[in-house]
Structure 1
């Protein structure tokens, strides 16, 4: 799964679905190796059947994400959806420090669970206690209710942050893709410090 962070712009993008853009990125183009051994980076897959109880404590919206955006909540930037409403990618504010912390704490995890009497995969995109906060809201991505996102919505600004993807659609969100991280850090502060010292 391709996750980018440009330290100059303090923005990032999470590619939830594989596409041709992913092929343009390689670890050789990333500064992440200045901080971590790239051979040790992974996205763990964990079986946690009782997670469904945590998901059931959150409110499940009746409208789809596409129907609710800019009405029930706003996006910080734009999140790309396909023709059926499934989320392809997430654009977000992302500083180098936050990105490195997320990687260090393995905030990106893939869980297998049971929820609503179905098997789902839950991809977390932030710290565990923030993802499973009971005040978060779950939005279906389509009327089929086979994929959802967990949103943390700021009560004062109504700006939503995507905390996790819940999916039964392994065809759209392949497990092998989600488990294979490609962390691309561009313009890192350490890179510029090393270049200026030479």
Structure 2
């Protein structure tokens, strides 16, 4: 999984490539992650966890897809989200400080599970700490009308992220917590299990 984090004087922004990126991504050569972590030791754990299917059954399923909710302004997102022509998310921007990024890597918050849910095998990629992903307050949102890929999301108030809005425009902001996929051709296991983390400074 490729995740980048840019440290800036203005905002700390990351990008999560849920699908393998096409072609070579140009970046400055000053990757700073190796100053904090031994990159050769980074791993994305993989575990079969049958009980996660029960956890997912107990979570609320939204009646609309992520893309329709996004385009119909049912919610806001922190930054940009990229979709393919079928409504599957290819990647998204996220508020991500270097401290939080390194903590997630060191604690192995980025991890992959396999479970059986809705009569088929799914792979669940966590993008936050386990307790933050499987919170009773989070919801499941399908990516499109097909029952093969979902997101675990959290709705938060703008103020919680330091965002100021006019009362007439106020909508909750959606944070993506995990990917639930039965579509390995779009979200390959080999890609999800290969850590490709980068930290850059833009000052």
Q: TM-score if structure 2 supplies the norm length?
A: 0.86
Partners of 1:29 and 1:184 within 8 A in 2: no
Deviating beyond 2 angstroms after TM superposition, the runs of 4 or more aligned structure 1 residues are 23-26
Structure 1 residue 29, shift from structure 2 partner: 4.6
Per the alignment, in what secondary structure is the counterpart of residue 114 of structure 1?
A: strand
Q: Does 2:169 correspond to 1:167?
A: no
Alignment of 1:146-161 (within 5 A): 146-155=148-157, 157-161=171-175
Per the normalisation by structure 1, the TM-score is 0.89
Q: How does 1:30-179 map to 2 (within 5 A)?
A: 30-69=31-70, 70-155=72-157, 157-179=171-193
1:5, 1:96 within 8 Å by CA — same for their partners in 2?
yes
Structure 1: give runs of 5+ residues left out of the alignment.
Answer: 193-198
Q: Distance in 2 between matches of 1:37 and 1:169?
A: 32
Contact 1:30 1:183 in 2 (8 A): no
Give the number of aligned pairs: 188
Q: Which residue of 2 aligns with 1:195?
A: none
CA contact (8 A) 1:17 1:89 kept: yes
CA-based RMSD of the aligned residues comes to 2.0
Distance 1:29 1:180 in 2: 21
Aligned match of 1:196? none
| Aligned-partner Cα distance in 2 for 1:71–1:187 | 33
**Offset at residue 30 of structure 1 (A):** 2.1
Q: 1:145 to 1:71 in 2, by over 3 A?
A: same
Tell me how far 1:155 sits from its aligned partner. Answer: 4.9
> Quick check: 69-78 or 85-94, which moved more?
69-78
- Alpha-carbon separation, structure 1, partners of 2:190 and 2:5: 22
- 8 Å CA contact retained: 2:30, 2:201: no
- After superposition, what is the alpha-carbon deviation per residue over 1:110-135, rounded to whole angstroms, capped at 9, x for unaligned? 10001111100000000100100111
| Cα deviation 1:154-175 (Å, max 9, x = unaligned) | 1565101000000000000000
User: Could you tell me how far apart the structure 2 residues matched to 1:73 and 1:137 are?
Assistant: 13
Gaps in structure 2 of 5+ consecutive residues: 159-170
Contact 2:122-2:181 within 8 A present in 1 as well: yes
The structure where helix makes up a greater share of residues is 1
